[in-house]
A = this chain, B = another copy of it.
Amino acid sequence: MFVNHTITALTSMIAHLVVPIPLLATLDPENSPIVLSGVLLSLVVIYLASKLGAEAARNFNFPPVLGELVAGVIVGVSALHLIVFPEGGLSASDSGIMSVLQSINHLSPVALTSIFESQSEVISVLAELGVIILLFEIGLESDIRQLKEVGVQAVVVACVGVAVPFAAGTAGLMMLFHTPAIPAIFAGAALTATSIGITSKVLSELGQLKSKEGQIIVGAAVIDDVLGIIVLAVVASLAKTGEIDVVNAIYLIVSATAFLLGSILLGGIFNKTFSAVVDTLKTRGNIVIPAFIFAFFMAFLGNAIHLEAILGAFAAGLVLDESDARNELDELVKPIADIIVPIFFVTVGARADLGVLNPAVPDNRAGLLIAAFLIVVAIIGKLVTGWVVFGQPGINRLAIGVGMIPRGEVGLVFAGIGSASGVLDKPLEVSIIIMVIITTFLAPPFLRIAFGDSVEPPATEESSKVI
């Protein structure tokens, strides 16, 4: 009996263990056309959403990217459930696209899970390649000379824009909401980093990327991103060990500075090499392939030294902007950006769970109060940065402050890590997510208003069109 029991118990354990194994079915060649089907259908939905959203936003005189974000929310986890990701407890049965595949192919639940995960992984990486190519394009559109000119301003804006929301957020949470120190520091840190992707896309759409204000915002957003990563590393180690990892913080500061300055300095030499290489190549893709080799390699480097891939891509764009092939390259990168960048914005919207705004859920109610406080700090803390700019008479200070407002994906990374490490309780996590959603969605229309007088709508429309 005992033997039988043991064997039965073990067999049932095995059966239990066996269930997740067919995840190896990822490799099952029979499933690979279905993964492809899922990716194709997801891309069709993403493209449809992005175009409908962008056109609708434009008709209401909002920046198109806001429409893409909102369209993403509609097709995403908050509404239609077409584009969802296996996070926050969602499974294949929550995905509209998976239901379609299921009804066509009659898949087992296990195969469906495996296909859902593979497809989500592919769409996630495509979205990341999208923001990498966006930042590469922004780098190409930026003017390195003008960036150098406003460099000091950008550094000041970035530092104030990190210090003020961090200090005000942490202190406010501790005093007003009696949050313990470490969670308060973590939430304060989540208020620091500007979303360079959203801000720069809106600037580009408004035709303001090359303006003095635009270049200060982009420069400050880049520095902000670096500062945000350093702050994250510091508070994460503080949360994990209770101590600040000074060595790692110094490593990040040094490597980020060396990476950005080094790539710009070396760029002066490299863009000559690039032009020479392009001239010797005779087969198709002679300009665009070397450019992408450089951009992706720099993005890899940025990732490898624990900075961000988008910083590498931005630096690559800045460098190639100096090369002779610049104008041709601009034209070639546009259609590539047009088909891959929307994947990023739509999935940002699709991942934003507006369910956290529902006051019927108790955790949300506590979160909504804290969120209201964080949003005020997030907006005012960045708005003030416009007024620390000096020596630039007649500059649009409001526009600079507004440009720094959107927190986007960086804030979500904070919330995710804070929640995974147990530092943030549910209400605080929810409030950070709400803060990110609100600042992200408010910034594009605000930026449009802040630039109001100086923007010529018809010219903008034309210049932002491909043709």
How far, in angstroms, from A292 to B466 measured CA to CA in the complex? 15
Measuring CB to CB, which residues of chain A are less than 8 angstroms from any residue of chain B? Answer: 2-3, 6-7, 10-11, 13-14, 17-18, 20-21, 23-24, 26-27, 29, 32-33, 35-37, 39-41, 43-44, 47-48, 50-51, 54-55, 58, 64, 86-87, 104, 117-118, 121-122, 124-125, 128-129, 132, 280-290, 292-293, 296-297, 299-300, 303-304, 309, 328, 332-336, 338-339, 342, 416-417, 420, 461, 464-467
Determine the chain B residues whose CB is within 8 A of the CB of A117 once the complex forms. Answer: 26-27
In the complex, residue of chain B having the shortest beta-carbon distance to the beta carbon of A466: B284
Q: Is the CB of B289 within 8 A of A40?
A: no
Which residues of B sit under 8 angstroms from A40, Cβ to Cβ?
Answer: 132, 296-297, 299-300, 303, 309
User: Which B-chain residue is minimally distant from A105 (CB atoms)?
Assistant: B304
- Closest chain B CB from A138 CB (angstroms): 14
The answer to whether A286 and B466 touch across the interface, beta carbons within 8 angstroms, is yes
Is A465 in contact with B121, judged by CB distance below 8 angstroms? no
With beta carbons under 8 angstroms apart, the residue of B14, B128, B286, B309 that contacts A467 is B286
When distances are taken between beta carbons in the complex, the residues of chain B under 8 Å from A466 are: 284-288, 332
Question: In the docked arrangement, what's the CA distance between A339 and B290, Å?
Answer: 10
Q: Is the pair A290, B29 in contact by a Cβ cutoff of 8 Å?
A: no
Whole-angstrom distance from the CB of A160 to the nearest CB of chain B?
29
Contact B283 A51 (CB under 8 A): yes
Complex partner residue of A283 from B18, B29, B55, CB under 8 angstroms:
B55
Most B CB within 10 A of own CB, among A40, A122, A296, A334 = A40
Closest to A462 in B: B282
Min CB distance A92 to B, Å, is 13
Distance from A292 Cβ to chain B, minimum over Cβ atoms (Å): 6
Is there an interface contact between B338 and A339, defined as CB atoms closer than 8 Å? no
> B27, A281: Cβ atoms under 8 Å?
no
Least CB distance, A30 to chain B, in whole angstroms: 9
Alpha-carbon distance between A297 and B416 when the two chains are bound, in angstroms: 34
Contact of A125 among B18, B21, B36, B55 (CB under 8 A): B36
A337 → chain B closest CB, angstroms = 8
The answer to whether B339 and A288 have CB atoms under 8 Å apart is yes
Quick one: closest B residue to A28, CB to CB?
Answer: B420
| 23 CB < 8 A contacts A-B | A6-B6, A10-B11, A13-B14, A17-B18, A17-B21, A20-B21, A21-B21, A26-B117, A29-B416, A29-B420, A36-B303, A37-B303, A50-B285, A51-B289, A54-B284, A283-B464, A284-B334, A285-B338, A287-B467, A288-B339, A292-B339, A332-B466, A335-B336
